[in-house]
Structure 1
Amino acid sequence: MNICVFLSAADLDERYTRPAREFGELIGKGGHTLVWGGSDSGLMKVVADGVQEAGGRLVGVSVEFLSAVARPGADEMVIATTLAERKKLMLDKADAVVIMVGGTGTLDEATEILELKKHHHAQMPVVLLNTAGFYDGLQQQFRRMEEEGFLRRPLSEMVVFAAEPSAALAHLEESLAAG
């Protein structure tokens, strides 16, 4: 399975690096491929290290203005011209998506895949890994959107929230096995 992971390239503390490494190791041990932003810094590096050290495959999609920090030694590295092209390429290569902690770029990526799912233009499973309650406020906002009629689909059909990396991967594997 090709798992697209959207997350920060920032260097963060153990609350966030531990789950990123753990999720990367689970991807690698499961024989899966990581599709990610291609950066060799911050959480992007941590998750890629975990995948690679556990025997998984790395497919990076960087963007021209960040190509200087692209990870050397990835199994495949594509350099997109724009951030929009980067997102599209990442999603085109993915069977599933996991959204981990991040800033505005990660939030942009998260809302893009959810908008595609809302309109039935993407069918892949999406998990929002809510590490240390990072996305509690966003989850509350999504529920309000659902309750007030702003979503065309039930939230549960668009995204699953998971607190731990193992639960995130289990959901993806179950979803894809179910067809």
Structure 2
Amino acid sequence: MDICVFLSAAELDERYTTPAREFARLLGKGGHTLVWGGSESGLMKVVADGVQEAGGRLVGVSVEFLHTLARENADEMHIARDLAERKALLLAKSDAVVVMVGGTGTLDEATEILELKKHGHTDKPVVLLNTAGFYDGLKQQFRRMEEEGFLPVPLTELVFFAEDGAGALAYLEETAGIR
């Protein structure tokens, strides 16, 4: 299966790189394809390295203004004109989405897929991988949105919060038939 992973291109410490590497190995060993932002830096590189080393395929979608950071040895690399086209390509090339730790770009990507799900424009499973409690605050905010009527569908229909990579893949296998 083709699994889109939204995540940071920043250099991060072991709290984030170790779990990311473990998740990447699970993806690769499972024979899955990583669909990601295509960067050869930071956490994006850690995950791409792990997937590739474990036998998985890499499909990158970079953007023109970042093309010099794109991974050269990906199985496929696509260069989008802008960030909006990049997000659309990432989603079009994937069967499921996992959101790992990241900054505003990752948050933008995550909210886009959740908005599409909310309106019934996709039924792809979405997992927020809550490494080291990174998304605890966002989870609380989503629950408040649900409680106060800002979400027209139950939060559980939009996103699954996983505490580790094994939990994320187990959820995807259960809901999307990913093997």
- Does TM, normalized by the shorter one, top 0.5? yes
Map 1:123-138; keep pairs closer than 5 Å. 123-138=123-138
The equivalent residue for 1:110 is 110
Deviation at 1:21, TM superposition (A): 0.7
Instruction: Say if 2:123 is the partner of 1:94.
Output: no
Map 1:29-178; keep pairs closer than 5 Å. 29-177=29-177
- Secondary structure at the counterpart of residue 151 of structure 1: coil
Cα RMSD (Å) of the superposition? 0.8
C-alpha distance in 2 between matches for 1:34 and 1:144: 32
C-alpha distance in 1 between matches for 2:157 and 2:175: 11
> Deviations 1:77-135 (Å, cap 9, x if unpaired)?
00000000000000000100000000000000000000000001110100000000000
Deviation at 1:174, TM superposition (A): 1.1
- Secondary structure at the counterpart of residue 27 of structure 1: helix
Deviation at 1:152, TM superposition (A): 1.2
Q: Can you give the 5+ residue segments of structure 2 that lack an aligned partner in the other structure?
A: none
Tell me the number of residue pairs that the alignment of Structure 1 and Structure 2 aligns. Answer: 178
Instruction: Say if 2:21 is the partner of 1:21.
Output: yes
The equivalent residue for 1:5 is 5
Q: Which runs of 4+ in 1 moved over 4 A?
A: none
Q: Can you give the 5+ residue segments of structure 1 that lack an aligned partner in the other structure?
A: none
> Deviations 1:3-49 (Å, cap 9, x if unpaired)?
00000000000000011111111110001000000000000000000
- Secondary structure at the counterpart of residue 161 of structure 2: strand
- Secondary structure at the counterpart of residue 11 of structure 2: coil
- Secondary structure at the counterpart of residue 149 of structure 1: coil
Deviation at 1:70, TM superposition (A): 0.2
- Secondary structure at the counterpart of residue 55 of structure 1: coil
Deviation at 1:177, TM superposition (A): 2.0
TM-score, reference length from structure 1: 0.98
C-alpha distance in 1 between matches for 2:145 and 2:77: 37
C-alpha distance in 2 between matches for 1:111 and 1:124: 14
Which amino acid in structure 2 is aligned with residue 174 of structure 1?
Answer: E
